[in-house]
Structure formats: C-alpha cells, structure tokens
Amino acid sequence: MNRKGILVVLSGFSGAGKGTIVKRLLSDYKQYALSVSATTRAPRPGEEEGKAYFFKTKQEFEKMIAEGAFIEYARYVDNYYGTPKEYVRQQLDAGRDVILEIEIQGARKVKEQFPDTLMLFVVTPDAATLKERLTGRGTESPDVIRDRLRRASEEAEGIEAYDYLVVNDDLDTCVAKVHALIESEHCRISRNTDYIKEMQKEMKSFCSR
C-alpha cells in the first residue's frame, strides 16, 4: 500500500509533556515530520531558515495571509506565527505523518481545513498531578500560576473536540501509544479507499471469468 501521510494535531496541557513526546516521535521513528511554522520575529543566533522557523517579513507574512497560505496563524505581541499549508501538503504527499504541536484554538482551525486530521490530546494521569507540575516549579508568582491553571481549565473544556486522549504516565509507554494511535489511523477504512476499490474490482473480475 502506498500510504499518504496523516496530519496529526498534538495538544495538551502545558506540563503534560507534549514537546518531549514530539521530540521522541521524531527521533524514534522515520515516518514523522514536524510542521515548521512561519514567523515574523527575528531569527535568534543559530536558528536556521526552515529548521525552527521559516522567517518572513511582516509584509511577506501578510501577503501569505491574504493568499490563504496558512492553515492557521495567530499574532502574539508584535509578531505573527503561522502554519504554512504548502509545507504540510508536501510532507503529507511524500507519505510522512506531519505533527502539529498546537493549542486548541489553532487545532480547531486545522480540523476545519483538513477534516481528516487526527486530533490527540495529552493529559497528565490526573488533575492533581497537573496542578503539581504547573505550580511545582517554585519560580513563578501566584499570579502566573493562577493564569496557568485558568488556561489549563479552559483547555480542558475543549477536550471533546479531539479524537483520542493520551495519558502521559510513563514517557516510553506514552510515545509508543501515540505512535500506535497514528499507525491505527492508517488502517481506517476511509484512508484506504483506493486499495479497497482495487480489491473489489479484482475480486469481481474473478467471478466473471
């Protein structure tokens, strides 16, 4: 089977370990590509074009917005950040599963444009563990912690927009689990229609002989 890549959204609470999971998927398996964002912020020392980001001027970025070149984009402080459609399409066509580590608002926009996106939400084993992770670093002010908890609570309200829940109890298990979820998704009937139609045709031909 010539398989097409799957667009995978990985969301989850801050502190649930999304970033580590994504890194491990990219290093442990060859089939994954990380979506590279475009941004108008200046490159930091050592940041290569097309690795961490595609660097754009504000004018370029706004032109791309106008052309509908982004799956989703947002403005933080004075800079734009966006997911270029073209790059994602290329990777998917090359058979790579593209991972988008993104929060819920962005995830919803992605799902609108790519309805067969696989939507994964990573959680800590329970709310108390999450609270510990969000508050336990001991370096932030009560205000910052309160903001984080509020944001996490808002994100929790959006979980139903996702397809699967992944509990990050043990990292190795969790990475294997996410990989298995993506592999399973490749078996979905609706992702194998060409293969099925071909098989149906061949089998009909056996009967008519």
Q: Which residues bind a second copy (CB under 8 A)?
A: 1, 121, 123, 126-128, 130-131, 146, 149-150, 152-153, 156-157, 159-160, 162-167, 177, 180-181, 183-184, 187-189, 192, 195-196, 198-200, 202-204, 206-207
Closest separation between CB of residue 133 and a second copy, Å?
12
Nearer to a second copy, 23 or 150 (CB): 150
Closest separation between CB of residue 198 and a second copy, Å?
8
The DSSP code sequence of 79-104 is EEEEEEHHHHHHHHHTTPEEEEE--H
Nearer to a second copy, 144 or 165 (CB): 165
Find tokens 């992944």 and name the residue: 166
Identify the CA nearest to 170 among candidates 64, 3, 20, 4: 20
Nearer to a second copy, 11 or 35 (CB): 11
End-to-end CA gap in the chain: 26
Closest separation between CB of residue 6 and a second copy, Å?
13
Residues with Cβ within 8 Å of 145's Cβ and at least 6 positions away in sequence, in order, are 134, 135
Nearer to a second copy, 47 or 194 (CB): 194
Q: How far apart are CA 18 and CA 120, in angstroms?
A: 10
